[in-house]
Amino acid sequence: MGGTLKDPFALREVLRTWLEEHSQYEGEGSSVDFPVQPTVVHYPGEVTVVLFPVVRALRRRPQEVGERLLRWLTRRIEGVIEGGQVVGGFLNLRFSGEFWREWLRARLMQWLEEGRYPLPWKRKEEPVLLVEFSSPNTNKPLHLGHVRNNTLGDAVARLLAVTGRGRVVRLNLINDRGIHICKTMLAWMKWGGGATPQSTGKKGDHFVGDFYVLFERRYKDEVERLVREKGMSEEEARREAPLIREAQELLRRWEAGDPEVRQVWKMMNEWVLEGFRETYQRYGVMFDAFEFESETYARGKELVYEGLEKGVFYRKEDGSIWVDLTDEGLDTKLLLRGDGTSVYITQDLGTIDLRWQKYRMQRMVYVVAEEQRYHFQVLKAVLRRLGKPYADTVFHLSYAMVELPEGKMKSREGTVIDADDFLDELTALALEQIRCSEKAKDASEEEKRELAEQVALAAIKFYMLRVDPNKKILFRKEEAMDFEGYSGPFLQYTYARIQALLRKAQEEYGLGREAIVRLLGERGFAELIEEERRLLQMLFFYPVRLWESAQRYDPSLLANALYQLAKEYNRYYARVPILRGSSEEERVWRLALSWWVGETLAHGCVEVLNIPMPARM
């Protein structure tokens, strides 16, 4: 029983069989789907079959369809259905205790045999799905906004892979060219005095970021002076300020391949990239490939000139090239400046074209903040004008900003929250709590620090992922670090609690994992309390939560399902004496259920959301 009806997807296949086998429902009804969902708390049962689509197609009353289906299911999957009830357009099914015992045993056996969490999908090599995220500029360190971007992009890539959507390639396009890079280079060349990260003892990306802030401060001073002394408007002053003109000339020299400029550019980029690598490693984020705009923008310029020749773009008197998208409800868009230098969309055109040549992807997911929504609408429209077959692969996964109670961040003013400093601060908060914990008194200082960083990562990542990507996050550190609240550390604590329980079962009763599975098969236990049925329902629907999260590119659905599972288990743990049951059958059953809750938390957190789950806390 438990081996064949593994999850709601398998149940839906059984329901389709019912439609196919009943001749009176042939035709229109045979292609109708049965939605399956968890039964709401106040009704008996674990699984609800939504009858409305079938009722409409068959033109029969819900009560009649539900009762016929219930009788057929009871016979077809004998021993599974303990009872059922038709309520309106819903059929609520209550599974038998024997089914649940066999279902749980089958999951645990498969886990032991294969060494991985059993899911209804296998990883595929086709189609190819590209996910671009992070994509920082090489003129400043990664900041709090990148933390949300990295966390979201990483989780979405993992979701697509684990649900068998295809071969997922995780890309990081480094923005290593452009006027912003030249500003930072110019500041170092003018005021750096030959200093390096090594000579100052600073992390490379932090070192370079200081010069970006320095340029903006000096530039701001020049603009104010031109407004005050020359009577210029602020807009004119920003355009005529000597520093911005020097930066623009530096960009022209860079695009012309000036050896001196290129040497400084390469050196400073290496400083920043080394700093990025350290930060990615700390956050546990990895990529399949790094790409660089300096290697793709030239192809973008070629595409712009191709469009100009085809007549889909036009040139203005100053030599700049534009596209008119007003007929699509957009605007006119600059594609190439009059001096021949490229803009953001130029390099995006070149990048996606090179990706198409290499991957022939089915989907190109850009994880980029919501402010760039218009940009991706334009990118897609321009690609269509060029007749590119990959135009419709473009998918912008937008997300809202992250703020702290202190207010917004501004990188030009040096008020951003650095990703490294942010993790350091939360690690310090976690370490303080761990040092005060009686349970950690025997741990070494190194072990405490390692655990503290794992707790901090869980606090950050869960807080970022528990919210719909389109909603703004106000990050409250105390809330994120609450071991008993709606937080990543709460999930960690629940998992560690289960592992401690399993260790104690082994030590006191000799009940290791193999013994639990064996005894679960030898000794039946069918009397389930409602808390156990609720936990089993959540575990049964776990693959559905994975699928829905991947389908919607929204890890918050999974994050909240894992939180609800942990919350329900802690209620169960508080009420039921797991190791002090009235019989060995009870003890084995409760340990088996606890074990599978733990493995589900570990799979969802570690494998998908990339949140560490320490076995001891």
**In this structure, CATH architecture of domain 128-413:** 3-Layer(aba) Sandwich (3.40)
Section 574-578 average pLDDT: 94
Judged by average pLDDT, the poorest of 97-111, 167-181, 199-213, 399-413 is 399-413
pLDDT of residue 527: 82
Percentage above 70 pLDDT, the chain: 95
- What are the start and end residues of each CATH 3.40.50.620 domain in the chain? 128-413
CATH of 8-95, one of 3.30.1360.70, 3.40.50.2300, 3.40.309.10, 3.90.1560.10: 3.30.1360.70
Q: Calculate mean pLDDT across residues 258-272.
A: 97
pLDDT above 60 for 12: yes
Q: CB–CB of 47/73 below 8 Å?
A: no
For 161-185, write each residue's pLDDT tens digit. 999 999 999 999 999 998 999 999 9
Of the segments 18-22, 49-53, 92-96, which one has the largest average pLDDT value? Answer: 92-96
**pLDDT for 526:** 63
Question: Do the strands 363-369 and 332-336 form a parallel or antiparallel pair, or are they unpaired?
Answer: unpaired
| Percent of the chain surpassing pLDDT 90 | 84
Across residues 343-367, what is the average pLDDT?
97
Looking at residue 189, what is its pLDDT? Answer: 97
Query: Residues of CATH 3.30.1360.70 domain(s) within the chain?
Result: 8-95
Residue 524: pLDDT band by 50, 70, 90 thresholds? low
* Residue 46, SS3 per DSSP: coil
Residue 313 CB neighbour total at 10 angstroms: 22
Q: What is the CA angle 239-242-247, rounded to 5?
A: 80
Residue range(s) occupied by CATH 1.10.730.10 in the chain:
456-608
Of 31-40, 118-127, 139-148, minimum mean pLDDT range:
31-40
pLDDT at 594 over 90: yes
Structure tokens at 86: 């038709």
Q: How confident is the model at residue 412 (pLDDT cuts 50, 70, 90)?
A: very low
Q: What is the mean pLDDT of residues 69-87?
A: 93
Query: What SS3 string covers 116-179?
Result: CCCCCCCCCCCCEEEEECCCCECCCCCEHHHHHHHHHHHHHHHHHHHCCCCEEEEEEEEECCCH
* Residue 29 pLDDT grade (very low, low, confident, very high; cuts 50, 70, 90): very low
Q: What is the CATH number of domain 456-608?
A: 1.10.730.10
Per-residue pLDDT at 216: 95
Mean pLDDT for 511-526 is 86
